[in-house]
Amino acid sequence: MADRPTSNASTFRSLVLIAVVVAALVAAFAFTAGWLSPGRLTPAKIVNALAPPGGAALGFRRNHAKGICFTGSFESNGAAAALSKAPMFAPGSSSAVTGRFNLATQDPKAPDATVRVRGLSLRIVAPDGSEWRTAMIDAPVFPVATPQAFYDLLKASADKSDPDAMKNFAAAHPSFGNFVAWAGSAPWTGSFAQEQYNSLNSFIFTNAAGQDQAVRWSFVPAAHPEAVSPDQLKALGDNFLDADITKRVQSAPQRWTLVVTAANPGDPTADPTQAWPEDRRKVEAGTLVVSAIEPEPDGPCRDLNFDPTVLPPGMHVSDDPFPAARSAAYAVSFDRRTAEDKDYPHHPAGGDTQ
Amino acid sequence: MTPIHDRFTPLQRALHWIMAICILAMLFIGVGMVSTVRPDYLTLVSVHKPLGILILVLALIRLVVRLIRGAPPLPASMPEPMKLAARLSHLAFYLLMIGLPLIGWGMLSAADYPVVVFGMHLPSILPHSNGLHTLLWNAHRVLALCFFALILVHLAAALLHALVRRDGVFEAMAPWR
């Protein structure tokens, strides 16, 4: 088929049209990718803001960098099956658990007594292979209500140029006070085994009948919490928490009861700075049994991303904005630290852990 | 004027245009999801994974159809380098359509994430490995950007055939009769 003769003018118009179409597509792509929106809060920005002044510890989690692995099981008593059809809640089911006790710090060498917030991360794998991942902390409320406020808090706390940065932040975010009050007044303990770990974020449970229920959950320790003063903790050395939990688990498995709290209609599900009233219905779903501790280097938890949006059937996210933001930011942290594998001290010299 | 065998078969044209929409949507979803912490992030991720598997399945069907039915010959008026570029671009398209979903699946496997699409738990296709994850993650990102660039070139070339050269190449894949 021969080329049809076309005028130079019409060829020029066609070429312009082609250029416009291609440019429009490139512009739409760049806009979608955020390249034209420097103000957009990206997961990379949050992770960058977590880095201490000297830079992130390469190969480590960007937050909750210090931790120790464990394995164990979750033994369901069946009571939560009325709330969620998740297979790990089936009566009598036993699910394999890989977990991590950790400290909310960007410094993997931070002395234990200097870190106020302690965490528990779990991967619970039901017998049918479905997974539930969750990462909790021992604070009863989260410091901030939105991911943007979290970013602003990181910025304010790192701001050395403005001595009023934190004061201004607190004034602009009144519910930050709930967390500050807890941090200032709650007793410290000398053991990961004596802490209660709370989801803080709200999720939706769906039972076999298809009924939805907004919930939060906590892992409540069987060990009785004993208050220890921060000064006494400092005297125990930098890594007393790892030594303590290792010793405890060596002598006997450590247990926590999973308590699921059901929201009443109207309870704030989108704001983790707001605790729900104490009288809400609570369901004891089963027992977490921690049966073996393993140091993080080459432990089974190190290269896991405890992404709180990895949920089994019968659970999904609520209108709480944090799980999505955490999932996005955890992925960036995971992508970076796995790429820095060679920088991670797989065999720490001088017995860094324990 | 154009004999019927100068065009791709209706099945091939249908696959091309359905996949064009899927792949373009996929690339936009990909760059959009990694640049936000809003709840849209989860929505986009939950579309990205099943759409990737759908593209993989369609690409494999399309490859089989292409091997059986072939492609209409390029017009004799096309210069040889242009013909070579056209053939190489088709090869690149098939490699990317099949490779990118597999790399994405492999990347999730190497990170030990459960891969659940359409309510089904897909098997892990690679062992848990930081090195593999990093390699595949970088490949997924770089190749996806290359894919977008290839689509831009493909689109520009198609429009050039349709509007300037008017040699029947565009009509061979046009969705209408």
Residue A325 within a domain: yes
Angle formed by the axes of helices A165-172 and A147-158, nearest 10°: 160
Q: Out of B77, B128, B164, whose CB is closest to A6? A: B164
Specify the higher pLDDT residue, A176 or A348.
A176
Partners of residue A18 in chain B, C-beta under 8 Å = 156, 159-160, 163
Chain A residue closest in CA terms to B2: A1
How many contacts does A have with B, using Cβ atoms within 8 A? 122
> Contact, A103 vs A115, CB < 8 A?
yes
- Residues spanned by the domain of A306: 51-140+186-343
Q: Let me know how long chain B is.
A: 177
Partners of residue A29 in chain B, C-beta under 8 Å = 27-28, 31, 148
Instruction: State how beta strands A315-317 and B115-117 pair.
Output: unpaired
**Interface touch B130/A34, C-beta < 8 Å:** no
Into how many domains does chain B fold?
1
> Which long-range contacts (C-beta less than 8 Å, at least 24 apart) are formed by B76-85?
B77/A1, B77/A2, B77/A3, B77/B165, B77/B167, B78/B167, B78/B169
Nearest CA to B165 among A24, A15, A23? A15
**Interface touch A18/B160, C-beta < 8 Å:** yes
Residue A213 to residue B19: CA distance in whole angstroms? 39
Alpha helices in chain B, H assignment, sequence order: 10-33, 40-69, 80-110, 130-159, 169-173
- Opening angle at CA B109, ends B103 and B114, nearest 5: 125
Choose, out of A3, A31, A32, the residue to mutate when testing the contact with B (most B CBs < 10 Å).
Answer: A32
- Measured CA to CA in angstroms, residue A180 lies from A155, A170, A321, A344, B110 at distances of 17, 10, 21, 33, 40
Q: Out of A42, A327, A335, whose CB is closest to B42? A: A327
Phi, psi of B116, rounded to the nearest 5 degrees: -115, 115
* pLDDT for position B176: 81
Instruction: State how beta strands A254-262 and A66-76 pair.
Output: unpaired
Residue A70 within a domain: yes
> Which long-range contacts (C-beta less than 8 Å, at least 24 apart) are formed by A194-197?
A194/A221, A194/A223, A194/A224, A194/A225, A194/A226, A195/A118, A195/A120, A195/A138, A195/A221, A195/A225, A196/A138, A196/A220, A196/A221, A196/A225, A196/A256, A197/A118, A197/A119, A197/A120, A197/A136, A197/A137, A197/A138, A197/A256
pLDDT band at A8 (very low <50, low <70, confident <90, very high): confident
Q: To 10 degrees, the CA torsion angle through B12, B17, B19, B25?
A: 180
- Residues spanned by the domain of B112: 4-173
Greatest Cα pair distance, chain A, in angstroms, is 91
* pLDDT for position A352: 44
* pLDDT single digits (tens) A34-75: 999 999 999 999 999 999 989 999 999 999 999 999 999 999
Chain A residue closest in CA terms to B124: A129
pTM, two decimal places: 0.94
Report how far Cα A239 is from the mean position of its chain's Cα atoms: 22
* CA-based nearest distance A331→chain B, Å: 9
* pLDDT for position A348: 55
**Interface touch B35/A42, C-beta < 8 Å:** yes
Nearest CA to B73 among B60, B58, B87? B87
- The CATH code of the domain that includes A248 is 2.40.180.10
Q: pLDDT at residue A295 above 90?
A: yes
> Contact, A133 vs A307, CB < 8 A?
yes
Choose, out of B21, B33, B37, the residue to mutate when testing the contact with A (most A CBs < 10 Å).
Answer: B37
Question: What is the mean predicted confidence (pLDDT) over A199-203?
Answer: 98
Return the percentage of chain A with pLDDT > 70, whole number: 96
Instruction: State how beta strands A227-228 and A188-189 pair.
Output: antiparallel
* CA-based nearest distance A308→chain B, Å: 11
**Interface touch A327/B35, C-beta < 8 Å:** no
* pLDDT single digits (tens) A121-140: 999 999 999 999 999 999 99
Partners of residue A335 in chain B, C-beta under 8 Å = 133-134, 137
Taking 50 as the pLDDT cut, the residues of chain B under it are 1-4
ipTM of this complex prediction, to 2 decimal places: 0.94
Residue A203's Cβ-count burial label (10 Å; 0-12, 13-18, 19+) is: buried
- The CATH code of the domain that includes B131 is 1.20.950
Into how many domains does chain A fold?
1
Residue A134 within a domain: yes
Name the DSSP letter for residue A80.
G
> Contact, A117 vs A102, CB < 8 A?
no
Question: What is the mean predicted confidence (pLDDT) over A193-207?
Answer: 98
**Interface touch A15/B113, C-beta < 8 Å:** no
Partners of residue A17 in chain B, C-beta under 8 Å = 159, 163
B residues 109..138 contacting A (CB < 8 A): 111-114, 119, 121, 128, 130-131, 133-134, 137
For chain A, say whether B67 makes contact (Cβ under 8 Å).
no
Q: Out of A15, A43, A341, whose CB is closest to B37? A: A43
Name the DSSP letter for residue A194.
G
**Interface touch A338/B111, C-beta < 8 Å:** yes
Residue A277's Cβ-count burial label (10 Å; 0-12, 13-18, 19+) is: exposed
* pLDDT for position B5: 67
Partners of residue B165 in chain A, C-beta under 8 Å = 3
pLDDT band at A1 (very low <50, low <70, confident <90, very high): very low
* pLDDT for position A298: 84
Residue B115 to residue B104: CA distance in whole angstroms? 10
Name the DSSP letter for residue A121.
E
> Contact, A294 vs A344, CB < 8 A?
no
Which residues of A are tagged catalytic? Answer: 64
Question: What is the mean predicted confidence (pLDDT) over A193-212?
Answer: 98
**Interface touch B119/A313, C-beta < 8 Å:** yes
> Contact, A173 vs A237, CB < 8 A?
no
**Interface touch B41/A129, C-beta < 8 Å:** no
> What is chain A's mean pLDDT, rounded?
95
* pLDDT for position B1: 40
Q: Out of A4, A129, A305, whose CB is closest to B121? A: A129
